[in-house]
Amino acid sequence: MRVVIQRVLNASVSVDQKEVSRIGKGLLILLGVDIADAEDDLLWLVQKISGLRIFSDHDDKMNLSIRDIDGEVLVVSQFTLFGATKKGNRPSFIRAAKPDKGEKDYLKFVDELQRLIEKPIQTGVFG
């Protein structure tokens, strides 16, 4: 799995110019699933993200997690995180999981993260 994690004051996802999800202060997570990802990889990543101390405390030190600030989370599937451009001019997505595995792991990721942070998670539209 590959993720891009961005601290945000707010974020939203729109499809065909229609907003499908919105959050306030928290994390925007772009998630790509690899063809070789196993459940252990997913569970490790969810555990890591839920405990990442990347929000500032009262002393302006990055010392608080998403749970500590009672923040919101938006997870968006992003297979292009596996785009390989080493050869040629056209990206190869050979390492990206096929849609059935990608969606299954994406939904499992969302469920597990929601369980750990004990708060509903907003999502984009898979695909």
User: Which fold would CATH assign to domain 2-123?
Assistant: D-tyrosyl-trna(Tyr) Deacylase; Chain: A; (3.50.80)
- Reported confidence tier of residue 126, pLDDT bands at 50, 70, 90: confident
Write down the catalytic residue from 38, 80, 84, 91: 80
Enter the DSSP assignment of 81.
G
Inform me whether the pLDDT recorded for 3 exceeds 90: yes
The per-residue DSSP string of 37-77 comes to: --HHHHHHHHHHHHH---EE-TTS-EEE-TTTTT-EEEEEE
How many residues are given for the chain?
A: 127
Residue in the block written with tokens 């990442």: 52
Q: How high does pLDDT run on average in the chain?
A: 95
Residue-wise pLDDT tens digits, 32-45:
999 999 999 999 99
pTM (2 d.p.): 0.92
Cα–Cα distance, 115 to 127 (Å, whole number): 24
Residue-wise pLDDT tens digits, 62-102:
999 999 999 999 999 999 899 999 888 999 998 999 999 99
Any catalytic annotation for residue 80? yes
